[in-house]
Chain A
Amino acid sequence: MNRLYDMEPRVMDDDMLKLAVGEQGPREEAGQLAKQEGILFKDVVSLQLDFQNILRIDNLWQFESLQKLQLDNNIIEKIEGLENLTRLVWLDLSFNNIEAIEGLDTLVNLEDLSLFNNRISKIDSLDALVKLQVLSLGNNHIGNMMNIIYLRRFKALRTLSLSGNPVAEDEDYKMFICAYLPDLVYLDFRRLDDHMKELAEMKHQYSIDELKHRENLMQARLEDEQARREELEEHKAAFVEQLNGTFLFDSMYAEDVEGSKLSHLPGVGELLEAYPDKFVIICLNIFEYGLKQQEKRKAELDFMECVQEAIQENQEQGKLKIAKFEEKHLLSLNAIREESELSSIETKIVEYSEDITELFNVLMTLEMQLVEQLEETINMFERNIIDLVGLFVENVQSLMAQCRDLENHHHEKLLEIAINILEKIVKGEMDEDLPDDVRSLFVDKDTIVNAVGASHDIHLLKIDNREDELVTRVNSWCTHLLDKIHKDEIMRNRKRVKEINQYVDHVQSELDSLECGDLLD
């Protein structure tokens, strides 16, 4: 804006950031500690960089836990480099030279955004900011009232400032905002009173109702789509998506040039009428069977629950053991501390370390028990699920074979008709007119047989493809699942063993330190 460019623009470099962090860090005793240790950028929660003549936002990617960032009174022209600051709640970019809102798509936690005194002319690109509560856009170039309708999507927005924009000069400005943003509480730093809201609502009732209606329709459509997508997902999970209709059959004929030509032959029409019905029935069979099998597989998955229960129970036991040990542990530590005689100290220490070993053994036994139990169960589950998948594949294959039979049958019929017609044409007995491109097929027997064969091949290919897809997907699902279960179990086991070791080490080291202390005393 009207800032003097007398100072040279500065670059946000490491030194600048360090300086700022150091200045704004903890004070007094804590400050001494901080200086001693140094502050990591990723631990900084709040950062203030105002009046620094910054031209370009940069080097902020390390500040992962930053919640409050002030970049006001600089000469920034573009919002950028904030992608990593996903924890940001409070962002101040006022008094800069920004022309468009952008680069805020990752800041999903942002609640307070200030873009006061910039050169923004349009409100948009704020979709990701679902938690936005305060938006300051005063002293900008926003001229179109329709920008306000965009703000309707922010359900949490309570404070808005737009004064100093061309829109604010409109005499209907306040009413318009009141009407279109009914949840707003403060506009341009003033509270909106209820009376005003009522008036505004009355004034703009019709347009708002229309808007609402449109929004509702949109919402409904979205929900619809969502539901459909979910259904498809479900079918996909059952590996039988789009088998509940004519999709496969249609796809068979979609790329089949010859087939569509041949369908014009006399007699083929009737054939084609009955064919899809039968085909679709088989498809439906597959589909339903698939869904049923999916249910069965889901029922099998209560295995997970059982495993969780077992693990939980085992953990409880472990916790109990540790709690018991800890009680004793405190007592014995105190006893050792208070013991004055060296020999008895030593016996106690020996006793105590025995206790520790005992605890370790108990915990490890529990864990080994669990591992054994789980292994057994996992193996059982593996067997069952592989059987189930095998059965599913087998049955689907047999159903697909029926499809193929149907296709073969159809092919034979078609071939027969074709040859008949060829004979007729050869004999010149053909009465009916055939389209030219169809007639061109009936030059000799090879051509027509090839044509029919090609059509047939395409159909078979489609069916084979679908079958292959299904089988590979179900198999890969199965292997993935089993892999994951095995891996999870191994991970769990490793983690638990590590935890136990760590704990026992800790206890042991406590004892050792005590020993050392005693010896020193």
Chain B
Amino acid sequence: MEVLKEKVEEEEAAEREEAAERAERGEKTKRPMEVRREETTMTQEMLRDLERKLSEIEVSVPEKLLAFTKDTIDTSKLPLSYQSNTLKEEHLLQVADNFSRQYSHLCPDRVPLFLHPLNECEVPKFVSTTIRPTLMPYPELYNWDTCAQFISDFLSMVPLPDPLKPPLYLYSSTTVLKYQKGNCFDFSTLLCSMLIGAGYDAYCVNGYGSQDLCHMDLTREVCPLTMKPKESVKEEEKAPPKKYAIKPPRDLTSRFEQEQEMKRQEAIKAEEENRRKQEEARLLEQENAKTDPLHGLRVHSWVLVLSGKREVPESFFIDPFTARSYSTQDDHFLGIESLWNHKNYWVNMQDCWNCCKDLVFDLGDPVRWEYLLLGTDKPFLSLTEEEDEGMNDDDDVENLGKEDEDKSFDMPPSWVEQIEISPEAFETRCPNGKKVIQYKRAKLEKWAPYLNNNGLVCRLTTYEDLECTKTLEMKEWYQNREDMLELKHINKITGLNVDYFKPGHPQALRVHSYKSMQPEMDRVMEFYETARVDGLIKREETPKTMTEHYQGRPDFLSYRHVNFGPRMKKLALNSAESNPRPMVKITERFFRNPAKPADEDVAERVFLIAEERIQLRYHCRSDHITANKREFLRRTEVDSKGNKIIMTPDMCISFEVEPMEHTKKLLYQYEAMMKLKNEEKLSRHQAWESELEVLEILKLREEEEEAHTLTISIYDTKRNEKCKEYREAMERVLHEEHLRQVEAQLDYLAPFLAQLPPGEKLTRWQAVRLKDECLNDFKQRLIDKANLIQARFEKETQELQKKQQWYQENQVTLTPEDEDLYLSYCSQAMFRIRILEQRLSRHKELAPLKYLALEEKLYKDPRLVELLKVFV
């Protein structure tokens, strides 16, 4: 058994080689007939093997991706154009069939053309009509790179059912978009539609690609995000030497020695280079060890963009799976069978023995590109074509499409519905908003914004080894974070975390790099200095020091460096947090203050707090090379008599480049020292405040990490809850307002007018009657109401009287409960009676007024006013 298996494997290996060879040769269009015959007869067996192997490959493809078949598509709701062909389309199919027949007759050694696959309704459709040029309403999709990126994100890839043949089905772009999956033909059709819509000269290509390309396998590619952008070296323009430029001093070193030294260095460098190259070659070999047995046979479809339109300087390929652009000479593209756009279909008549490197994309050249339909707008680009090898047997090929074709026939319009992408889908991008791409030593994960509740949109993990087991570093991109966190960079080896922020953090933080969130550890914080009052750019911390860099301060401070001593053991009186580390030394540097002369402008001052010394260094005057220095000893001493020494000359040691009179004075020195003492206090305070601020920022950062709230734009009406609430409230208010208005417009005349014959003008008599009726009616209603109240009142009083009677009669026999009941009834009844009484009296008061009001209203009613005027 074992032996057999081995044998089979050996055979397979041999045949694989054969197959590869054949594939390579299979591309050649002009191959001697007899040789080919020989080969075909020879490889009958081999083909079977091949087929078997193919089935193996298919098995290896993940199951779930295969789910996208016709069965899952609901064809019943598709429009008519999907389900049938128009006359013109039928005609086109006939033309295509004819073309195909002639083609297979003339080039029997080539695979049949991919002309009219079935669509989702099992209707054959010509490939060009499947392209539906559409310009998308999103500005991001206007350029080819972003457009391709979108498609590669939006659709998930399904491999071809048979990797050696073009698919039987080609679905419409609308269906593909709906199910968000497709094979390479679906991808490139959609991309082509969008690119043509955006004005590019784009074509779908049916050809052969490398295995990596066909399987969307990026594991051998370096992730573009990990590549560092090349720093463009800016060459400074050298000013032409001036007439009086100073000659450099004579060089007295030996030229010969220099040369020898140089040679030695070069030799070392060359050796290193050599070693490096060898190493690289070795690595490369290791990586590329696995070769593909089906190399050159795998069918793939991609997009070709020709130069000319939209300022494209050079033709290039786009792989729709990865959205990468390749030059037309790239190794991944192994051959082209045919290409098409929405107007025409071209068959490649050039030899692809050297992949696509020698192809000329001059579609107007009928020798190189055989077209299906005549009369497209492709001009003959180059007329100076050489009589190359393809010429001799192309003569008959040239005529094939033309003679029986209707010259005025052009491509029918696309049967595909308008391609639409909803804004939600556009924002979500990837299917379910998530996508993972595996690169060489790197993994890229993408999420739609707002999908992760911490705002994570992208994560790049870099690994040390090819198997992706050891994490090297992680980069996480965030979006819409309230704390403006943009990028988190975690280096797993050094344990260094670097957070990058966008402008707008409450503490104007720009970069924060740290190893731990504990205070007083190594950390660097950078700030947006223009957003800060104190102009702080950067604060670096180590366990013993703190360095701050400033810019643009009115006191010209540029740098402060604080050295801390070991924390003193304090008694348990104070809690730990209010025990700052003692400062040993504070160094401050200043920019030049142009308002002061240089030798009075302090450049650096050092407070040696422990030694009670202050050192000053001044700026250097423009014509000097040395700067003033001054050192103060601020020890207060007591002289022999016990008096306090205020100031002695040896308390201030100074070096002055140009000695000045007034600085020698003790008074001046004393004043300077007093000032410095105050400033020392101030500096210590500021340093202390800085420490506090660090603590505060760390606390804030922790809170932010904890909460990680996301901001929602006020224009984002779907997500912004507040906005939504507000809008709904507004709508409700409007609705209520409307109801109220309807109520207010109740017409008191309406019931009376309705009695009159409609559409007639009122006569005076009618008007008077109308008015009287209305008034009478109202009077009646008022009286009724009064009567009603009166009746109720009487009823209540009667009942009360009865009850009272009953009570008086049975007073003796009543239990206390009954008595309570009675009393409560009485009080309630009395209350009711009183209310009714009040209502009645109020009604009596108001009724005449209401009556008069109505009367007046009626007099003023626009419908009656004309007719009633006389009587007033």
Q: Please report A residues at the B interface, Cβ cutoff 8 Å.
A: 26, 29-30, 32-34, 36-37, 39, 43, 300, 302-303, 305-307, 309-310, 313, 315, 318-319, 322, 363, 369, 372-374, 376-377, 380-381, 492, 495-496, 499-500, 502-503, 506
Whether A374 touches B670, Cβ cut-off 8 Å, given contacts A32-B646, A322-B625, A496-B625, is no
Q: Is the interface of B mostly helix, strand, loop or mixed?
A: loop
Contact across chains for A506 and B625 when beta carbons are under 8 A apart: no
Q: How far is the CB of B619 from chain A (nearest CB, A)?
A: 11
Number of residues in B with C-beta < 8 Å to the partner?
A: 23
CA–CA, A33 to B655, complex, Å?
A: 22
Q: How far is the CB of B520 from chain A (nearest CB, A)?
A: 27
Q: What 4 new A-B contacts, CB under 8 Å, besides A30-B670, A319-B625, A372-B249?
A: A43-B665, A309-B245, A373-B247, A376-B247
B671 sits at the interface (CB 8 A)? yes
Contact across chains for A303 and B243 when beta carbons are under 8 A apart: yes
CA–CA, A310 to B242, complex, Å?
A: 12
Contact across chains for A306 and B246 when beta carbons are under 8 A apart: yes
Partner of A306, one of B242, B620, B662, B670: B242
Contact across chains for B243 and A37 when beta carbons are under 8 A apart: no
Residues of A within 8 A of B623 (CB): 315, 492, 495
Q: How far is the CB of B789 from chain A (nearest CB, A)?
A: 65
CA–CA, A29 to B645, complex, Å?
A: 10
Residues of A within 8 A of B245 (CB): 306, 309
Q: How far is the CB of A64 from chain B (nearest CB, A)?
A: 12
Partner of B625, one of A30, A36, A315, A380: A315
B824 sits at the interface (CB 8 A)? no
Whether A33 touches B244, Cβ cut-off 8 Å, given contacts A492-B623, A496-B625, A503-B626, is no
Q: How far is the CB of B561 from chain A (nearest CB, A)?
A: 15
Contact across chains for B244 and A380 when beta carbons are under 8 A apart: yes
Whether A30 touches B667, Cβ cut-off 8 Å, given contacts A492-B623, A499-B626, is yes
B666 sits at the interface (CB 8 A)? yes
Contact across chains for B249 and A373 when beta carbons are under 8 A apart: yes
Contact across chains for A377 and B646 when beta carbons are under 8 A apart: no
Residues of A within 8 A of B52 (CB): none
> Whose C-beta in chain A lies nearest to the C-beta of B241?
A306
Residues of B within 8 A of A313 (CB): 246
Interface flags for B628-663 (1: CB within 8 Å of A; 0: not) read 000000000000000000110000000101000010
Whether A302 touches B242, Cβ cut-off 8 Å, given contacts A29-B646, A369-B249, A376-B247, is yes
CA–CA, A502 to B625, complex, Å?
A: 12
Contact across chains for A499 and B670 when beta carbons are under 8 A apart: no
Q: How far is the CB of A501 from chain B (nearest CB, A)?
A: 11
CA–CA, A306 to B242, complex, Å?
A: 7
Q: How far is the CB of A313 from chain B (nearest CB, A)?
A: 8
Whether A309 touches B246, Cβ cut-off 8 Å, given contacts A29-B646, A33-B667, is yes
Whether A377 touches B246, Cβ cut-off 8 Å, given contacts A33-B647, A503-B626, A506-B655, is yes
CA–CA, A506 to B626, complex, Å?
A: 11
Partner of B665, one of A32, A37, A307, A372: A37
Q: How far is the CB of B277 from chain A (nearest CB, A)?
A: 40
Contact across chains for B670 and A33 when beta carbons are under 8 A apart: yes
Give 7 A-B contacts (CB < 8 Å), ordered by A residue. A29-B646, A32-B646, A33-B646, A33-B667, A302-B243, A315-B623, A496-B625
> Whose C-beta in chain B lies nearest to the C-beta of A312?
B622
Q: Please report B residues at the A interface, Cβ cutoff 8 Å.
A: 242-247, 249, 620, 623-626, 646-647, 655, 657, 662, 665-667, 670-671, 674
> Whose C-beta in chain B lies nearest to the C-beta of A319?
B625
CA–CA, A503 to B656, complex, Å?
A: 9
Contact across chains for A37 and B667 when beta carbons are under 8 A apart: yes
Per CB-CB distance, the 6 closest pairs between chain A and chain B, nearest first, are: A318-B625, A310-B246, A306-B244, A303-B244, A503-B626, A373-B246
CA–CA, A34 to B666, complex, Å?
A: 8
Q: How far is the CB of B670 from chain A (nearest CB, A)?
A: 5
Contact across chains for A502 and B657 when beta carbons are under 8 A apart: yes
CA–CA, A319 to B627, complex, Å?
A: 9
Contact across chains for B246 and A499 when beta carbons are under 8 A apart: no
Residues of A within 8 A of B655 (CB): 503, 506
Contact across chains for A499 and B624 when beta carbons are under 8 A apart: yes
Residues of B within 8 A of A374 (CB): 246
> Whose C-beta in chain A lies nearest to the C-beta of B655?
A506
Residues of B within 8 A of A318 (CB): 625
Residues of B within 8 A of A363 (CB): 625
Residues of B within 8 A of A502 (CB): 626, 657
Q: How far is the CB of A271 from chain B (nearest CB, A)?
A: 50
Contact across chains for B620 and A319 when beta carbons are under 8 A apart: yes
Contact across chains for A30 and B246 when beta carbons are under 8 A apart: no
> Whose C-beta in chain A lies nearest to the C-beta of B248?
A373
Most buried by B among A33, A34, A39, A502: A33
> Whose C-beta in chain B lies nearest to the C-beta of A39?
B667
Residues of B within 8 A of A32 (CB): 646
Residues of B within 8 A of A37 (CB): 665-667
> Whose C-beta in chain A lies nearest to the C-beta of B653?
A510
Partner of B657, one of A30, A315, A373, A499: A499
Residues of B within 8 A of A380 (CB): 244
Whether A381 touches B667, Cβ cut-off 8 Å, given contacts A319-B625, A492-B623, is no
CA–CA, A310 to B666, complex, Å?
A: 40
Residues of B within 8 A of A33 (CB): 646-647, 666-667, 670
CA–CA, A303 to B655, complex, Å?
A: 35
Contact across chains for A377 and B244 when beta carbons are under 8 A apart: yes
CA–CA, A306 to B667, complex, Å?
A: 44
> Whose C-beta in chain A lies nearest to the C-beta of B620?
A319
Residues of A within 8 A of B620 (CB): 319
CA–CA, A488 to B760, complex, Å?
A: 116
CA–CA, A518 to B814, complex, Å?
A: 122
Contact across chains for B242 and A305 when beta carbons are under 8 A apart: yes
Q: How far is the CB of A414 from chain B (nearest CB, A)?
A: 51
Contact across chains for B625 and A499 when beta carbons are under 8 A apart: yes
Residues of A within 8 A of B247 (CB): 373, 376
> Whose C-beta in chain A lies nearest to the C-beta of B646?
A29
Contact across chains for A34 and B242 when beta carbons are under 8 A apart: no
CA–CA, A309 to B246, complex, Å?
A: 9
CA–CA, A496 to B246, complex, Å?
A: 19
Contact across chains for A381 and B246 when beta carbons are under 8 A apart: no
CA–CA, A303 to B244, complex, Å?
A: 5
Partner of B244, one of A30, A302, A495, A503: A302
CA–CA, A495 to B247, complex, Å?
A: 23
Q: How far is the CB of B286 from chain A (nearest CB, A)?
A: 50
Residues of B within 8 A of A496 (CB): 625
Partner of A30, one of B242, B243, B624, B671: B671
CA–CA, A228 to B400, complex, Å?
A: 89
> Whose C-beta in chain B lies nearest to the C-beta of A502?
B657
> Whose C-beta in chain A lies nearest to the C-beta of B626?
A503
Contact across chains for B666 and A36 when beta carbons are under 8 A apart: yes
Q: How far is the CB of B624 from chain A (nearest CB, A)?
A: 6
CA–CA, A495 to B657, complex, Å?
A: 10
> Whose C-beta in chain B lies nearest to the C-beta of A301?
B244
Most buried by A among B244, B624, B662: B244
Residues of A within 8 A of B657 (CB): 499, 502-503
CA–CA, A492 to B624, complex, Å?
A: 10
Partner of B670, one of A29, A492, A503: A29
